[in-house]
Homo-oligomer: A and B are copies of this chain.
Amino acid sequence: MKKTPVSRTTAAAPRRLKLGPLRDNLGYLTRVLRNVTQQSSARHVDDLGHATGQITMLGLIAANEGVSQNELAGAMLMRKSQVTSLIQDLVERGLVQRAEQGGDRRYNALTLTPPGQQAWKRARDRIHQHSDELLGALSPDEREQLTALVRKLLAAHLQDAEIDFD
């Protein structure tokens, strides 16, 4: 329990690392934030057996019945080939259906199956808990500020993606 911090001659750095110019750099901050998020997400959603991005896909399909794979790709900044394989897996697991559209037979109108809706509900609760844990150090006001600022930034950079960030 007591770790005797007295006169540590260890190599293991008694000093605190300075960030220098990286302190205000959004590229750096974003990458570390992403690493923190990804590592902690393992504890929250790994047992659900979804690959990275699949939970987001379930959520986007739930909120936008009949969405196309191309729209998903645009909204998630993924390549369509990546969307294909992730959706394919969701279809094989019986969570997503590719319904044919009346007009244009080129694209798939994606919908959740009943099991898919169940899976989304479960996953939604988990990622909500995860988000709360991540934001734990911030006050309610600060949480709202942070997410609002990120949405504003994303809206400016994803104008072509046609996402409603408001």
Contacts and interface: CB of A to CB of B under 8 A. Distances in A.
> Which size bracket describes the interface of A in this complex?
35 or more
Given A68-B13, A152-B138, A127 B27 contact: yes
Contacts of A131: 24-27
A82 to B, nearest CB: 11
A56 to B, nearest CB: 6
How many copies of this chain sit in the oligomeric assembly?
2
Determine chain A's interface SS by DSSP, over half rule: helix
Contacts of A52: 31
B19 A150 contact: no
A26 B60 contact: no
Contacts of A154: 29, 32-33, 36
A59 B20 contact: yes
